[in-house]
Amino acid sequence: MTAGADYSRHVLGLWFDVCDPGGPRLGAIDRLAQTAEGRKLARFAAMLMVETGFKDESVHAASYSYKPIDGSWESGEAEAFLKQKFGAGAATYDEIKAQRLTAAQFTDFLFDSVPVEPHITVLDVGCGTGLVGERLLGKVGVLDGIDLCEEMVAKARSKNVYDRLVVAEAAAGLAGCGTHDLILCNWCLLYMPRLDDFFAAAARALSPGGQLVLTVYACGDAWDALAMGEREFAHSRPYLRRLAKSNGLAEDRMEIRVLCASPGYFCVFDNP
Ligand SMILES: C[S@@+](CC[C@H](N)C(=O)[O-])C[C@H]1O[C@@H](n2cnc3c(N)ncnc32)[C@H](O)[C@@H]1O
């Protein structure tokens, strides 16, 4: 198996096996994933599958390209790494099409899933440069944001769409921001191997009747979370459900959709 045409042929071959009802389906993914190269291909194939509606299959395939979490992320270096990574990219963040599209796809899901009304208060966690906030301008009563990267927050502030912006780590920021009717967290939880602190803080920061709308990269149900890259993580449905339940939240919607070229879970949890 090599790059180029061969590569495409293998990805397409796998995709045909998966969508052929009489074909090997998931077994085709399992077979391909026997080799390291096959596991790399599985990730590309997952993208094709999620785009074409083979959603559970796409999560199955993508999980093969992820790895068990080894624990090295636990160190305090993670926050410094993220500040550096996003600090360096803040100025040009909005120029990248995939980043604009990912924010737009999240807000499409949001508008499709929950009432976004002029009187509600909204907190955008991991708000980045404010690409989600921009799409809420004029549609909600209060819009606040939290992000751990100062440069990203400065960019968001320059757009004048947030009422209040706080530079803080998500759970700590949530604890200090009062309650909101709607808490959003798009494309940010991938930097957290464990979501326990986030869920606990978000549940406490939701108004009664409020909703938490979030995205994560998706991994298969057999794990809580898997590592996608150096400091990026995918999370599973059972893990999200367990955290929601243990923090008193009820699942309202959980869908597999494209999250920047990989399968993701797009979720709404209600604070009853
Ligand atoms: C990929 S960007 C997405 C930004 C925005 N949500 C969007 O949809 O355009 C991820 C953002 O999450 C922030 N972030 C990552 N981990 C965080 C954490 N633990 N607490 C607060 N912000 C975090 C980063 O600084 C970055 O601005």
Q: How many domains does the chain have?
A: 2
Nearest to 257 by CA among 50, 104, 58, 2: 50
Give me the pLDDT at residue 123, please. Answer: 98
**Does residue 264 sit in the same domain as residue 132?**
yes
Pocket test for ligand 1, best of 174, 188, 194 (most atoms within 8 A of CB): 188
Measured in angstroms, how far is the CA atom of residue 126 from the centroid of ligand 1? 4
Q: Are 84 and 154 members of one domain?
A: yes
Q: Alpha-carbon distance 116 to 122, whole Å?
A: 9
The answer on 241 and 139 residing in a single domain is yes
The CATH code of the domain that includes 256 is 3.40.50.150
The one-letter amino acid at 86: F
Nearest to 130 by CA among 175, 98, 99, 97: 99
Q: Which residues of the chain have pLDDT under 70?
A: 1-4, 71-76
pLDDT value at residue 1? 47
- Both 27 and 151 in one domain: the answer is no
Residue 86 lies in a domain: yes
User: Ligand 1: which residue has its CA nearest to atom 26?
Assistant: 128
Answer yes or no: do 105 and 130 share one domain: yes
Within this chain, do residues 50 and 112 fall inside the same structural domain, yes or no?
no
41 shares a domain with 174: no
Indicate if 173 and 195 belong to the same structural domain: yes
CA distance 86 to 93: 9
Domain annotation covers residue 223: no
223-254 burial, b for 16+ CB within 10 Å, e for fewer? bbbbbbeebbbbbbbebbbebbeebebeeebe
Residue 224 lies in a domain: no
Would residue 226 count as lying in a domain? no
pTM score, whole prediction: 0.94
Distances (CA, A) of 69 to 72, 146, 231: 8, 27, 10
* Same domain? 159 vs 257: yes
Alpha helices in the chain (DSSP H): 5-19, 26-32, 36-51, 55-64, 77-89, 97-113, 131-134, 150-158, 170-175, 196-204, 237-246
Among 15, 38, 64, where does a domain finish?
A: 64
Question: pLDDT value at position 74?
Answer: 56
225 lies in a domain?
no
Q: Say whether both 90 and 203 belong to one domain.
A: yes
Same domain, 44 and 104: no
Please indicate, yes or no, if residue 25 is contained in any of the structural domains: yes
Whether 191 lines ligand 1, by a CB cut-off of 6 Å, is yes
Estimate the crossing angle of helix 36-51 against helix 5-19, to 10 degrees: 60
Q: What is the pLDDT of residue 200?
A: 98
| Residue 57, domain extent | 5-64
Q: Assess whether 29 and 82 both reside in one domain.
A: no
Summary mean pLDDT of the chain: 93
Closest-CA residue, ligand 1 atom 2, reads: 128
Q: Which residues contact 109 (CB under 8 A, 6 or more apart)?
A: 213, 215, 255, 257, 266
Report the atom number in ligand 1 closest to the C-alpha of 168.
Answer: 21
Structure confidence at residue 5 (pLDDT): 72
**Distance in Å, CA 236 to ligand 1 centroid:** 20
Instruction: Give the distance (Å) from ligand 1 centre to CA of residue 98.
Output: 15
Is-contact 196 169, C-beta < 8 A? no
